[in-house]
């Protein structure tokens, strides 16, 4: 499979664009934005392998409206999807760990999202920011957002619709929720950070599972105040191998598992720091409380485990730690997360994020 690639240069304000987009030197560019210009001027959608729009890291691509894929371009399909990917200025692959080549897309404070209900679209290596919409990035059905930064959103950072995923993303400074998803979704390898001192204030929830059959694994959530790290709002989901850390004085909850139902699993998570009336892990009850839970380790919380569940299929031992489970080497940042949140080799460490 070889997609047809088109380069887009946000620093070029030529109108019409510089060329056909097929090389860095002939990248699409427009005073109205290079991405929408590319979508409107690609001669023919690749209906065999799909297309990639390669956004060069040569300035900020400021959108003035939600991208329209279907007006001129066509409709992405499972067999021939559309990818929007950030690239270094010379066209080489970006590095999301260091930030090199992470092309910036800004909504400029506008109340709109990048995409609205388009299917089979993937976002890679992008720095997405400055949205006042209900969600900065709406990842619709069968879509994915991978190795992206999402920040400075007045409400939700990433909203995943059914059967979509967020992988290895950094989400920060969002007004309400870092990542929220509906049904059959996956959030894995993400770093979500919320602080009351952020310009948008503290999030209410870092990761919100707002449906059933969702997977939340290997994520790091760093919060303070009353924020809930991970909130499972409906039955049947998997909350496994996550690391949740709250600053001293936090009153929220590490993991809140409301209404756990059939086939739900909450295991191998590490939680620390909800020590001012907060709760490490809250196992709530449900009409069908048959699930697997345990092997979770909690440190320095007001209430370590709150458990009102009447019954479970498998109840494994949880552990109350006498010391921090995290190495805390260096600073609590996305680029240093692997060192800071590395699980320590102490008794009781059974899980946490390994990314």
**pLDDT tens digits in sequence order for the chain, 355 residues long:** 699 999 999 998 765 555 789 999 999 998 888 999 999 999 899 999 999 999 999 999 999 999 998 888 989 999 999 999 999 999 999 999 999 999 999 999 999 888 877 889 999 999 999 999 999 998 888 899 999 999 999 999 999 988 899 999 999 999 999 999 888 889 999 999 999 999 999 999 999 988 777 889 999 999 999 999 999 866 557 899 999 999 988 999 999 886 666 678 889 999 999 999 999 998 875 555 557 888 899 999 999 988 766 556 667 788 999 999 999 999 999 999 999 999 998 876 768 887 6
> Which pair of structure tokens corresponds to residue 142?
């069968």
Q: Is residue 231 part of a domain?
A: yes
Q: Is residue 184 part of a domain?
A: no
- 8 Å CB contact between 116 and 94: no
Q: Is residue 347 part of a domain?
A: yes
pTM above 0.85, yes or no: yes
Q: Is the peptide bond before 104 cis (omega within 30 degrees of 0)?
A: no
Tally of structural domains, the chain: 1
* Euclidean distance between CA atoms 137 and 271, whole angstroms: 28
- 8 Å CB contact between 96 and 49: no
pLDDT confidence of residue 18: 58
pLDDT confidence of residue 66: 92
pLDDT confidence of residue 70: 81
Expressed as residue numbers, the domain containing 311 is 194-355
> Which pair of structure tokens corresponds to residue 185?
């979704």
Q: Is residue 289 part of a domain?
A: yes
- 8 Å CB contact between 185 and 163: yes
Residues 6 or more apart in contact with residue 249 via CB below 8 angstroms: 224, 275, 276
> Which pair of structure tokens corresponds to residue 68?
């329209």
Q: Is residue 207 part of a domain?
A: yes
Q: Is residue 60 part of a domain?
A: no
pLDDT confidence of residue 189: 96
- Of 196, 206, 204, nearest to 244 (Cα)? 206
* Long-range contacts of 329-338, Cβ-Cβ distance < 8 Å, separation of 24 or more: 332/193, 332/222, 332/245, 334/149, 334/170, 334/172, 334/191, 334/193, 335/97, 335/98, 335/99, 337/191, 337/220
Q: Is residue 3 part of a domain?
A: no
* Euclidean distance between CA atoms 214 and 166, whole angstroms: 12
Q: Is residue 94 part of a domain?
A: no
């Amino acid at each position: 499979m070889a997609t047809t690639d088109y380069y887009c240069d946000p620093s070029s304000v030529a109108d019409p664009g510089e060329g056909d987009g097929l090389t860095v030197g002939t990248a699409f560019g427009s005073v109205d934005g290079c991405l929408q210009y590319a979508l409107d001027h690609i001669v023919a959608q690749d209906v065999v392998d799909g297309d990639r729009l390669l956004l060069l890291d040569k300035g900020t691509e400021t959108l003035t409206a939600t991208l329209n894929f279907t007006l001129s371009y066509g409709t992405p399909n499972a067999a021939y999807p559309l990818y929007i990917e950030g690239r270094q200025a010379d066209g080489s692959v970006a590095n999301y760990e260091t930030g090199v080549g992470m092309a910036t897309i800004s909504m400029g404070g506008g109340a709109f999202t990048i995409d609205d209900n388009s299917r089979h679209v993937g976002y890679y290596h992008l720095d997405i920011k400055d949205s006042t919409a209900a969600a900065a990035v709406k990842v619709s059905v069968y879509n994915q957002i991978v190795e992206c930064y999402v920040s400075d959103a007045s409400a939700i950072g990433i909203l995943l619709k059914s059967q979509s995923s967020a992988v290895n993303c950094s989400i920060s400074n969002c007004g309400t929720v870092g990542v929220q998803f509906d049904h059959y979704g996956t959030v894995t390898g993400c770093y979500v950070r919320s602080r009351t001192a952020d310009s948008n204030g503290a999030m209410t929830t870092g990761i919100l599972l707002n449906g059933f059959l969702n997977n939340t694994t290997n994520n790091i959530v760093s919060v303070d105040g009353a924020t809930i790290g991970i909130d499972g709002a409906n039955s049947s989901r998997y909350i496994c191998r996550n690391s949740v850390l709250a600053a001293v004085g936090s009153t929220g909850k590490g993991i809140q598992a409301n209404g756990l139902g059939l086939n739900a699993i909450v295991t191998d998570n590490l939680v620390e720091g909800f020590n001012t009336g907060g709760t490490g892990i809250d196992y709530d009850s449900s009409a069908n409380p048959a699930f697997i839970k345990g092997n979770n380790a909690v440190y320095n919380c007001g209430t370590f485990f709150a458990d009102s569940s009447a019954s479970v299929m498998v109840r494994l031992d949880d552990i109350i730690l006498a010391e921090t489970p995290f190495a805390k080497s260096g600073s609590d940042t996305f680029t240093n997360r692997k060192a800071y949140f590395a699980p320590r080799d102490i008794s009781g460490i059974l899980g946490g994020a390994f990314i």
